[in-house]
Amino acid sequence: MAAERVVAVTGGASGIGLAVAEAALAEGWHVAVADLDAGGLAAAEARLGTARASYTTLDVTEEDAVEAWIAGAAARGPLKGLVTSAGIAREVPALETPADLFRRVMEINVTGTFLCARAAGRAMREAGGGAIVTLGSVSGLRGGKGRVAYGASKGAVVNMTRVLAVDLARFGIRANCLCPGPV
């Protein structure tokens, strides 16, 4: 039996991540779903099933855990896709945003995206190529009231993805950033 094509999805227990997981399953992919919310992950598992999906509780800011999750996904078959949908948003005016909140949003949205993209990029290089899709936001393209931390983080994701596209192209890996409005 041929190895399954694998796509890894962070934030896969809800919203865009869950929709991506459903769509990938419908197209015949094995989907490695990760999310920090164990209860949401269990609900996603009940909804999507286990025939061609695996589920992992994951904090995208934990480097070793991200590396282990990607290695596990790649062990099922060639890792050909990554969608980084994990993220947090807080609506707090700039002058009232505490530094610890700003740091936390940056850590999850930017560093978490980077750790996942780096680990997946390494696996995709070994698999002969693939595609990385990061989730930015219109808030990362233009300012939005009360979104200083979120907007800054998503602007960083947009630019980081541009750099990933240039760095990874020689390995046959595409990197693109989607920037949806409110979801």
Buried b (16+ CB within 10 A) or exposed e, 132-167: bbbbbbebbeeebeebbbbbbbbbbbbebbeebeee
Q: Confirm whether 150 is a catalytic residue.
A: yes
Of the residues 29, 55, 114, 150, only one is catalytic, namely: 150
Annotated catalytic residues are 150
